[in-house]
Chain A
Amino acid sequence: MENFDMEALKEPASRYTLTTNSLNDFLDKLKELFVENSNLIMDANKTDIKHNKKQIKVKEFIEIIEKYRKKDCVLKDDERKIVIYRGDPYLTLHICLQAVTQRTKVLLFQQNFMLGVNEILLKIFNEVLEEFKISNLINRVENFSVQSFEKVKNFYDEVIIIGDTTTYQMLNDDNDVKFYPYNNIALYCNSDELEKLQEAIYIYANENEYEIEIIYADDLNEAIELINGDEQKSIAVLLTKTDDDKEKFFYEIKNKEIFVNENPFKKEVGKIYNYLK
C-alpha cells in the first residue's frame, strides 16, 4: 500500500503531551527551526512550483505559530482524526498546531499539492515534537484515494474534510464526514469588461488549489439562488458594473464572505476553524 506505515497509523500517539505552560517553549523552538530552515522551505517551494504555482512565505508560517501562543492545551485520551484537504501548507501548519494543543492523533490526507513544502514542514514539526518526547502524533499520506482511505479509516474516530468538496462528494454517502470550507469560492460576473478579472481570480485560485466555481447564470437572481444553494461555498464574489447588483448581492447572499469587484485573496490564509474540536 503506497507510502503507508500501517503500524504507525494503528498505534496511538505517545503518552507525552504539552501543557499550557510548555506550549510557549514548543512554539519558540518551532519558530526557531522555521527561521533556521527557511532556505530549505524556499528550495522545496521552488521544486513545487514546477507542478503547482503557490508561492510560500516563511513569514506567514511564523505569524501562524504566534497565533497559537495563548492557546490552552487540552488533555484528551487517544483521540484520532483523519483530515483530508488539498494540501495548502499554511493549513497543514494550522492542523498540526491544533493536533498538539488538543492532543489529537492526526492523519493528514493530501492531494498532490505542494508536496515538497509539506514534507519539509512536517519534518520540522515532528522534529520539535520529538524534542518534547511526543511521537506518532501526526502522519501524512500523499495523493488521496478512496481505496487508501478505506484501508485506514477504522483506526480513526472522525473524518474531517477541509475545503476539498470533490473528496467530500466521493466519501459522503457511506461515511460520517465533517466538512469545513477553506476558500471555497463561487464567482459570478455579469460584465464583459470584468471578464479578465474573472479569469485572473480563477487562475490564482487554481494555482493555489482553492476551489472556485464560475457561476453561469442567466441573471443575478439565478446566480444568487445558485450560490445560496451551495452550502460548501464560503466565499461569494461578484464582478459587476451595476450598483444595484452590488447592493442586491450584499443583501441577498447568505452565510458567505462577500467580495464585490475585489480580490478575495487579500489574506494569504483562508478562514481557519477549530477543526479538531
Chain B
Amino acid sequence: MVSKIDKLSMERIMLQVGFPYNIKELRSAYKYNVNVDLAMEFEKKIMQTKNFKEIQQLVVQYEEIFDKSLYVLHLGRLLEKDLDSQKRQEILTEGNNGIIKRQVILTDPKSTVRRGIVNAKDLLKDTKVADIGVNSETGEIIVYTSKEFVDQTFSMKKKAERTEKRLAQIDEKIGLDEVLKYLSPSDLIDICEYPNLGNVLAISLYKNKKSVKGKKVKGKNNSKRQEGEVLDDEILKKGNVFDWNEFEDTIRKYSAYIDLDKMLLLANSVFYNKHGNEFHNFSSEEAGELQDFTEKIGELIEHKKVVVSSPRFNTDVTYKVIFESVESLNKHFINGRYYEYEELAQLLEDITNGVVPISNISKREYQNTLKLNVEELLILDRNNPDAIQYLIDNDMLEKSEIEEFLKLKPKYTDEQASYFIKLDFIPENSILDLYNSGKLTLENLRHVKLNLEDRNLNEIVSVDRLVELYLDSEKKEEFEKYRKLYKLLIIDESRAEVLEREEKKDDKQAIKELDRRILNRRKAIGISILDKSMDLLNDDYMYDLYHKGILQIDTVIDYVGFDAVNKLFSSGELKPIDVKRLFNDKILTEAMLEDVFKKDDLTETEKLILIYSTFSSDEAKDEEMRKKLISYMSGRTTPTAEPTGETREKRGESQEPQNKNITDPWTRWNLISSLDKDYSQDYLKDGHIIFYLPNMSKYVIEKLYDKKNEPAYGAATYILDESVFKANEQDILKDGGINKSHLVALNKGKAQGVKKLVHTGWGNAIVKYFEVEESSRYTEEEKIEIKANAEKVEKSKKPMTRDDD
C-alpha cells in the first residue's frame, strides 16, 4: 500500500518537518538497502557544499536513496529533542544568552518546532518504520518505532510480552532452534517488521561472528539478492558465518519486532525448498517430517493469510501454497519411493490394469495419490476381481463410491456376488432385478446359496409368479429365466443337503435316506405348483414341466398315472437319471423295457442312446443289462460297441475291427452327459445328438454317427448358449438334421455364444471349457467322474498296440 508520505516529494516533506542541522543525520534516513554507489556519490557532493539550500536541492535530487518515512521519523525525533531543549532553554535562558542549539532547520519560515512534530506525527500515522540507533556506551541497538512516536501510549513492552508467549508456544511445539535451523541472519530483513532493523541485526550477527556451530544454514541464503542492494553487502554475502546461539538470542531479544508468522512460514518454505526443484532427493522419511513440520507450523501461525517475500524465492509465499505443495510432495511417495508425475501416471495405469497389485498400496497412498474414479475402479475390477474387496476391507472406499461402482458394474464373479450380498451392498430385494438384467448369473447365485449360511434367498422367487409366467404365452422368455432361478433356489439341493451329502458320502444307507427326503421335498413343491392353477393339470403341461425340471416324474405319475412312464420312456423323453431310478424302484420293469426295445417306435440309434444313458456305468450289472437290452433290438445278434473304446467292434454285418485310434462316440456322449445331471437329449436322423444342459443354459451339438450309421469321428463339436440356440433353432435344424453351414456362419469371426471345438484334445478341451475344475456346480466326486470320462475319450483313441511303448 502506498502511504501518504510516499506520495510526497522530499521537498514537500522537508517543508513540513524541516532539515537536520547536522547533515550526517541524513544517513539515518537512508533506505536500508540503498544503492551504495549512489549514496557515496550523494555524500561526496554534500561534502563539497556548505550551503543548506544547495544541500536541500541535492537531497531532492537524490530522493531515491531516502526512506521518506524514516526521514520523517528521524526528523520528528530531532524535533522532539529541539522541543525538549526549547523547554529547558525557557528555564535556563537567562544564563545562556538566549542561544538554543537546534537539531532541525525549519525550512518553512512560518512553521514551528511544535508544528513540525505535529506534521511528522500526521505523516507517520499509517506507516511502519523504525529509527535505529546504537547506544554509544553499550553498543546496544536501540529501536524507536513510528508507532511509538505517533502514539505515546503504545508500549513495545506489552507487545514483547505477547511475542514471548508465542515463542514459548513455538518452543513447546517444535523448538525455536528447529525453526531457525532453516533460516540465517539475512532472513531477518524479510521477517522483521522493520527491514532496516533486520538488516542491522543481520550485519551485527555476521560482524560478531565467534565460534560457529554446525547448525548454521548457509549457502543459498542471499543468492537472489541483487548486488549492491544491501548496504553491507560484503558482510551479508553468501558464505559468511555467524554464531548460532547469538542468532537465536537475537531473535528472542528482538522478537517484538519480528513477525513470527513470517518467520515460521519462511522456515517452512526453506525446508520445503531444501532440494530446490530436485524433489526426488527427498527421502520418504524426510518428506514425512516435512509434512509433520508443516502441520505444526500451521497450528502456530496466527494469521494464515500471512505472505512472506524473500529473495530465496521468485514469488511471494503463503502458508496455503506451502501446505498444498508439501501435501503434493508427499503424494509422490509410494512404498517409500519417490515417483515422478509420469511414473505416478504409469503406476496408476499399472494398478488399474492389475499389473501392480492394489495390495501394494497403503490406505494413505491410495487416498492421497492414487485414488481411482469409478471408471478406473471398473477397469481395475475387470482386471483384478479381488481388488475392490481389498479396497473395501481396508476402508479405502467411501460408501457412496461403492454404490456408484456397483451401479455400473456389469457382472460379478461368484466370490464377489457372495461378498457384496453378505455386506448388504446388494440388498436381497434387488437380487431379482440384477438377475433379470443379467448382472447376476445363476452361477453367482448358486455360489451365494451354497456359501452364505445366513442368507436365505428362497423368498426372492414365488410359486405364484412362476405359475403366472408359465401360463402367460407372451412371457415365455421371462418364464425361462424365472424358472431357472426358481429351480436353483427352491428345487435344487439346499446348502444343508449338499453338506449332508458330502459328510455322509461313504454311508450308502444315509445317502439313500437323503435322496428320499429330497425327493419328498420336491414332490411337495410339485404339488404346491399344481395347486396354483387347474390349467396345469393338463398332461402336456405336466410333461413339459417335468422336462423343464420343475416337476418330478413321481409327481407326474401321481397325477397322470403310470401311463406317463410308458409314454415318456417309449418316446425317449424320460430322463436317463429317472429311467435308472424307476428301474431300480421297479416302477419301470424289464418287461416294459423289453417291449419298447422290441418295437420300432424308436430308431436303433435312439434305443442305443437309451441303453447307454441308462446303464452307462462300468459295473457288471450295467454291462449285463446293456447286453440284454441290445439283444432285444430287432435283427441284432451281436453285442455292439462298448464305451471303453478298447473292445469296440464294428456294428452291423461287417465284423472287420475298427481302428482304435478314433474316439468312441459313446465316450464322448458319456462325457457330455456327465456335465449336467439334469441333461436331456435329442437324437437327429443325420447322426447328430443335441444335448440340452439346463443347469448351464447350453446346447451341445455332437456328431455321433455318419450317414451310413457308422460311428463318426473328427467332426467339430458346437456349443451354443441357450439364448443363441433358441434364436436360431429354425435355421440350425433342417430336414430333421443339423444345418452345419448355419453353425459355421454363427461361429465365424468373433461370435458370442457359439463355440466350435475340434476333436484334437477334445476331452480336456471340454473339461476346460466348462471350467469343471473351478466350478462350484460340481462336487469333488462329480469332478473326478467328469475328468475320468474325459480321460476315457482320449484313451479311446489310443491304439492298444502302442500302450506299452
Chain B nearest CB: distance from A49 CB in Å? 5
Say yes or no: A209 contacts B760, CB within 8 Å.
yes
A173 at the interface (CB under 8 A from B): yes
Say yes or no: A154 contacts B716, CB within 8 Å.
no
List A residues 178-200 near B (Cβ within 8 Å). 187, 199
Say yes or no: B707 contacts A216, CB within 8 Å.
yes
B703 and chain A: residue at smallest CB distance = A216
List A residues 1-44 near B (Cβ within 8 Å). 10
Q: Report how far A225 CA is from B757 CA in the complex, Å.
A: 19
Chain B nearest CB: distance from A153 CB in Å? 9
Say yes or no: A154 contacts B768, CB within 8 Å.
no
Q: Report how far A187 CA is from B760 CA in the complex, Å.
A: 14
List B residues 132-177 near A (Cβ within 8 Å). none
Say yes or no: B805 contacts A49, CB within 8 Å.
yes
Chain A nearest CB: distance from B376 CB in Å? 14
Chain A nearest CB: distance from B761 CB in Å? 6
Q: Which residues of A contact B (CB under 8 A)?
A: 10, 49-50, 53, 86, 111-113, 144-147, 154-155, 165-166, 169-170, 172-173, 187, 199, 202-203, 205-206, 209-218, 222, 225-226, 229-231
Q: Which residues of B contact A49 (CB under 8 A)?
A: 805
Say yes or no: B758 contacts A166, CB within 8 Å.
yes
B744 at the interface (CB under 8 A from A): yes
Contact flag A211-B760 (CB < 8 Å), given A53-B802, A216-B712: yes
List B residues 747-773 near A (Cβ within 8 Å). 747-750, 752, 755-761, 764-765, 768-769, 771, 773
Q: Which residues of A contact B759 (CB under 8 A)?
A: 206, 212-213
Taking chain B's interface residues, is the majority helix, strand, or loop, or is none over half, making it mixed?
loop
B753 and chain A: residue at smallest CB distance = A173
B745 at the interface (CB under 8 A from A): yes
Say yes or no: B383 contacts A154, CB within 8 Å.
yes
Say yes or no: B713 contacts A229, CB within 8 Å.
no
Chain A nearest CB: distance from B357 CB in Å? 10
B325 at the interface (CB under 8 A from A): no
B584 at the interface (CB under 8 A from A): no
A231 and chain B: residue at smallest CB distance = B748
The number of A-B residue pairs with CB atoms under 8 Å apart is 99
Q: Report how far A225 CA is from B745 CA in the complex, Å.
A: 10
Q: Report how far A111 CA is from B707 CA in the complex, Å.
A: 33
Give 17 new A-B contacts, CB below 8 A, not counting A205-B760, A212-B760, A229-B744: A10-B355, A144-B768, A145-B773, A146-B771, A154-B355, A165-B756, A166-B757, A166-B765, A169-B747, A170-B755, A170-B769, A202-B661, A214-B715, A216-B712, A217-B740, A225-B744, A226-B740
Q: Report how far A203 CA is from B741 CA in the complex, Å.
A: 26
Say yes or no: B745 contacts A86, CB within 8 Å.
no
- Picked from A172, A187, A230, the residue with its CB within 8 Å of the CB of B750 is A172
B705 and chain A: residue at smallest CB distance = A216
Say yes or no: A212 contacts B758, CB within 8 Å.
yes
- Picked from B752, B761, B802, the residue with its CB within 8 Å of the CB of A166 is B761
Chain A nearest CB: distance from B709 CB in Å? 13
Chain A nearest CB: distance from B778 CB in Å? 16
Q: Which residues of A contact B797 (CB under 8 A)?
A: 206
Say yes or no: A147 contacts B774, CB within 8 Å.
yes
Chain B nearest CB: distance from A20 CB in Å? 32
Q: Which residues of A contact B661 (CB under 8 A)?
A: 199, 202-203, 206
Say yes or no: A216 contacts B757, CB within 8 Å.
no
Q: Which residues of B contact A172 (CB under 8 A)?
A: 750
B340 at the interface (CB under 8 A from A): no
Say yes or no: B659 contacts A203, CB within 8 Å.
yes
- Picked from B353, B741, B758, B805, the residue with its CB within 8 Å of the CB of A229 is B741
Chain B nearest CB: distance from A265 CB in Å? 14
1/0 per residue, CB under 8 A from A, across B352-363: the answer is 011100000000
Say yes or no: B755 contacts A202, CB within 8 Å.
no
Q: Which residues of B contact A (CB under 8 A)?
A: 353-355, 383, 659, 661-662, 687, 703, 706-707, 712-716, 740-741, 744-745, 747-750, 752, 755-761, 764-765, 768-769, 771, 773-774, 797, 802, 805
Q: Which residues of A contact B749 (CB under 8 A)?
A: 231
Contact flag A202-B748 (CB < 8 Å), given A169-B756, A210-B760, A216-B707: no
Residue with the highest number of chain B CB atoms closer than 10 Å, among A49, A145, A166, A214: A166
- Picked from A155, A173, A229, the residue with its CB within 8 Å of the CB of B748 is A229
The 9 closest A-B pairs by CB, nearest first: A214-B714, A229-B744, A203-B661, A166-B765, A211-B760, A169-B755, A154-B354, A211-B758, A154-B353
Q: Which residues of B contact A86 (CB under 8 A)?
A: 760-761
Chain B nearest CB: distance from A159 CB in Å? 14
B708 and chain A: residue at smallest CB distance = A192
Chain B nearest CB: distance from A168 CB in Å? 10
Chain A nearest CB: distance from B638 CB in Å? 22
- Picked from A111, A206, A210, A216, the residue with its CB within 8 Å of the CB of B715 is A216
- Picked from A170, A202, A206, A226, the residue with its CB within 8 Å of the CB of B768 is A170
Of the A-B pairs whose beta carbons lie under 8 Å apart in the complex, a sample of 23, sorted by A's number, is A10-B355, A50-B805, A145-B768, A147-B774, A154-B353, A165-B758, A166-B757, A169-B747, A170-B769, A199-B659, A203-B659, A206-B661, A206-B797, A209-B760, A212-B758, A213-B715, A214-B712, A215-B715, A216-B706, A216-B740, A222-B741, A226-B744, A229-B748
Q: Which residues of A contact B712 (CB under 8 A)?
A: 214, 216
Q: Which residues of A contact B714 (CB under 8 A)?
A: 187, 202, 212-214
Q: Which residues of B contact A229 (CB under 8 A)?
A: 741, 744-745, 748
Q: Which residues of B contact A113 (CB under 8 A)?
A: 761
Q: Which residues of A contact B713 (CB under 8 A)?
A: 202, 214
Q: Report how far A100 CA is from B745 CA in the complex, Å.
A: 39
Q: Which residues of B contact A230 (CB under 8 A)?
A: 744, 748
Chain B nearest CB: distance from A143 CB in Å? 9
Q: Report how far A154 CA is from B761 CA in the complex, Å.
A: 27
Q: Which residues of B contact A203 (CB under 8 A)?
A: 659, 661-662
Say yes or no: B741 contacts A226, CB within 8 Å.
yes
A50 and chain B: residue at smallest CB distance = B805
Say yes or no: B355 contacts A206, CB within 8 Å.
no
Q: Which residues of B contact A209 (CB under 8 A)?
A: 760-761
A227 and chain B: residue at smallest CB distance = B744
Q: Report how far A165 CA is from B762 CA in the complex, Å.
A: 11
Q: Which residues of A contact B802 (CB under 8 A)?
A: 53
Q: Report how far A209 CA is from B659 CA in the complex, Å.
A: 18
Q: Report how far A155 CA is from B384 CA in the complex, Å.
A: 13
Chain B nearest CB: distance from A194 CB in Å? 14
Say yes or no: B716 contacts A213, CB within 8 Å.
yes
Q: Report how far A144 CA is from B773 CA in the complex, Å.
A: 13
Q: Report how far A202 CA is from B762 CA in the complex, Å.
A: 14
Q: Report how far A169 CA is from B353 CA in the complex, Å.
A: 23
Q: Which residues of A contact B764 (CB under 8 A)?
A: 111-112
